[in-house]
Amino acid sequence: MFDLVADVEQYPRFVPLCQNLVVRGRRELEGEREMLIADMTVAYKVVRETFTSRVTLDPAELQILVEYLDGPFKHLENRWTFLPREAEGCDISFYIDYEFKSRTLSALMGTMFDRAFRKFSAAFEARADEVYGSA
């Protein structure tokens, strides 16, 4: 599951609202860690926004950290943590905290974003079933 979430280039295929994602650069860090800079474009009806994030992939710790760099948010951070089960599979913890810069955009997109993030986990589960087969 770590690999599925780390494969950000595939997000436009299955993540709600993700219209496009471009990785601008990748860099190896100490250990097995890797850092990439990515531009994600989200779209809903007439609203289309692109934001830039730094994504740190840490396969040894089974964690992914996404930190906001530029775009329509005041701040955005999300973290994924993967906890292997004794049998097959894993438990996944997902945390997100965000705030839009614009009150207008916040009013327009806020409720819709909350609903989209609830659909987010279902989209990743469906993608896992597609890639790895259903349990």
**E strand intervals along 1-135:** 18-28, 34-44, 47-58, 63-70, 73-84, 90-100
- 102 pLDDT tier (thresholds 50, 70, 90): confident
92-100 average pLDDT score: 88
Q: How many domains does the chain have?
A: 1
- In-domain check, residue 63: yes
- Residue 6 within a domain: yes
Domain harbouring 27, CATH code: 3.30.530.20
pLDDT at 116 over 80: no
Q: Is residue 10, in this structure, part of any structural domain at all?
A: yes
Cβ neighbours, 10 Å, residue 78:
18
Classify residue 135: in a domain, yes or no.
Answer: no
**35 part of a folded domain:** yes
Averaged pLDDT score across all residues of the chain: 89
pLDDT at 98: 86
Domain containing 38: what range?
2-130
